[in-house]
Structures are given as C-alpha cells and as structure tokens.
Amino acid sequence: MSLALDATQLDRYSRHIIMDEVGPEGQERLLDGSVLVVGAGGLGSPVIQYLAAAGVGRLGVVDDDAVERSNLQRQVIHADADVGVPKVESARGYVERLNPDVAVETYETRLDSPGIGIVDDYDLVVDASDNFPTRYLLNDYCQLTGTPLAHGSIYKFEGQATTIRPGGPCYRCLFPEAPEPGTVPDCATTGVLGVLPGTVGCIQATEAVKLLLDAGETLDGRLLFYDAMAMTFETVPFRRNPDCPACGDDPIDSVSEVEYTGGCTVGD
C-alpha cells in the first residue's frame, strides 16, 4: 500500500484503491492531476461534482455568469442561496464542502483568444461550454498544445460527447464551421430536460478520469449520441480530415489566425 496516501484518503478513496485498474498508484495520479472545466452550468455541474469526488487534485473552473433561479432545475452544484453569486464562486464552495483534497482555481471570465493560455496550466480540458466560439477555440488551442479535450453538448432531450486527443480527429473534422449565430436556439428558448446534462456531463467526467489514469478506451474518433426520450445511445466513428485547419496536414500555427465569431472559420 502506498505511503503517499494518509489514513483519511485511504478511507475516502477505498472503492478506487481496491480496484486493480486504479489502485493506490492510480489514486495518486488523480490527486496529482489537474483539469480545466470550461463552464459551470448544466454540463459543468456533474463534471465538477464527480471529478472532485474522485479526488482530482486541482480543478480550474471558467465561467462568467452568476447563478439564476432558472439554472437550478439542472445545474446541481448550485443552490437557491447561491442565486446572484458568480457560478465560479458557488462551484468553489461546493467543492470545498465535498472534498478538502481538491484545490479550486476560478476564472470569472468568458474564455477568449487572449485568455486561452490558462489551458497550459492543466493536464486536460473538459468543454462544458454553451457556445460555438468557445468550442472551436478550445478545439483549436488544444490541438496546438497537445492537450486532451473532453467535449459535450446538449439540446432539449439529446446530447453528444466525444474526446479529442492530440493529432486529431478533432471537432473541426466533424463540424468544419459553426452555424451562423441565431440559427441554433439555446435552452432559454427551447428548454432542456433537467436530468439530460447529468448524463452527458458524467460521460465527460468519466473520460477525464480515464485520461488521467491512462486507462480504458476513450471516445476519440467516435461521437456518442444520447437520446433521452428513446433511451438510446449510438456511437458514430469519424476520421481525421487531412484538410482540417486544426489537425490536418497543414494546420494553423496560432489561434490568432481564427476569428471566433460567425462561423469560426480559419482565415486565408
């Protein structure tokens, strides 16, 4: 048994430690690991919950919003008493109450090109954002820096997830350009099943834990579709596009080459 874990940790993480696939060495990897969670809303809530419970030692949380009462139907790390509080601060308080082993670093901002360098301080990124500019920015920068990225998104009763590893295939291989602003309605317009982000976020958290443990097979090269109404899961394989500007044969050198508005296209 590893001497690096104290008696309280041996108790807290005992169900990990007794697993051959994790063990004390794996738990130490989790405690030494770091994950940047971009978004502390519907998807980010279960991601933050389960990564903190698993003992991921350092969590970065990025979000520029404050808690609203309409969030509480699905954003389960926030409570009625948190209404009006920045989501990053509510998330920090939740994690501190859950697991004192976990250090939380907060970034009360909307991630943009000038600030994307915070990714460099983390082992991997979980994309729990709710907008296309952030998704494309994270995809492009993580490809440039060789940072694994667990992506998820939701719409009404449906969700999807994939994991993007260095070298592709990447998000742009699936969706070369973003839809024009206003063409895809958000949950404030169409609604969303409250439990839906719990399922998709847990899948993202699972991928993150496996990446830190270097265990199992991830969703890289596969897009997982979840239909909550039909209760079905389907995975669709996809390949690296050699013409992809992020992971292809002639990729961009910097995210400064991309205007993260409109279609998030790469300039000539």
Sheet strand arrangement including 222-227: 103-107, 58-62, 34-38, 124-127, 149-155, 158-164, 222-227, 232-237
Q: What is the dihedral sign for C-alpha 180, 184, 187, 192?
A: negative
To the query of whether residue 170 is one of the catalytic residues in this protein, the response is: no
Q: Are strands 58-62 and 103-107 parallel, antiparallel or unpaired?
A: parallel
| Cα of 127 vs its chain's centroid, Å | 3
Q: Which two tokens stand for residue 127?
A: 């994309």
Helices and strands in the chain, H and E counts: 9, 8
Q: Which of 142, 170, 187, 244 is catalytic?
A: 187
Catalytic residues: 187
